[in-house]
Amino acid sequence: MADQKEYLRNRADSQIGKIVIDRDLCIGAASCLAVAGATYELDGENKVVVTNADSVDDATLTMSAESCPTKAILLFDKSGKQVFPK
């Protein structure tokens, strides 16, 4: 079972309902922090955690997930369908 953490998103203007961090894949490269510093933090294990799932718009959130060099950030729409990585 993969070590995944889920974070629900409740922005009215957003198509994305959930952010999932795969902690097995995450290496703490922190490119997501560079793109969306208000959304993520690194924890003491050098893994990314979501501190504010609603802080940025969909385009920025998607770019933060795309910037990840290990594809450790998964995005789901409000119906639960995975939208990234495709």
Partner 1 sequence: MVNFKYLIIGGGVAGVTAAETIRQSDTVGTIAIVSDEPYLLYSRVMLSKPNFFLGKVPFDQVWLKGEGWYKEKNIIFLGGKTVNNLDTIQKKVGLTDGDFISYQKLLIATGTSTRKANVPGADKKSVHYLRSLEDGKGIMENIKTAKNAVTVGGGFIGFEMADLMQLAGLQTTVVLREPFFWDPTLDSASGSIIEKAMEKVGVKILHTNEIVEIVGGENVEGVVLKDGTKIACEVIIFGIGTESHIDWVKTAGLKTNRGIVADEFMKTNAEDVWTAGDITEYKDLLLEENVQMGNWVSAHEQGRIAGLGMVDKKEAFKFVSFYTTQGFGLSVAFVGDVTPGKDRMIISRGSIETDSLARIYIVGSELVGATLINRTQEMGTISKLIGQNIDVSAKHSELADANFDLNKLLT
Amino acid at the residue 68 = C
Q: Is 76 in the site for partner 1 (CB under 8 A)?
A: no
Q: Report the site for partner 1 in 14-33 (rule: CB under 8 A).
A: 24-25, 27-31, 33
Taking the complex as a whole, the smallest distance from the CB of residue 64 to partner 1 amounts, in Å, to 10
Cβ neighbors of 83 (< 8 A, separation 6 or more) are 15, 16, 75, 76, 77
Q: How many of the other CB atoms lie within 10 Å of CB of 32?
A: 25
C-alpha angle 75-22-20 in degrees, rounded to nearest 5: 30
C-alpha 46/C-alpha 75 separation (Å) is 21
Taking the complex as a whole, the smallest distance from the CB of residue 42 to partner 1 amounts, in Å, to 5
Q: Which is nearer to partner 1, 8 or 27 (CB)?
A: 27
Q: Report the site for partner 1 in 36-75 (rule: CB under 8 A).
A: 37, 40-46, 67, 69-71
Residues that bind partner 1 (CB under 8 A): 24-25, 27-31, 33-35, 37, 40-46, 67, 69-71, 86
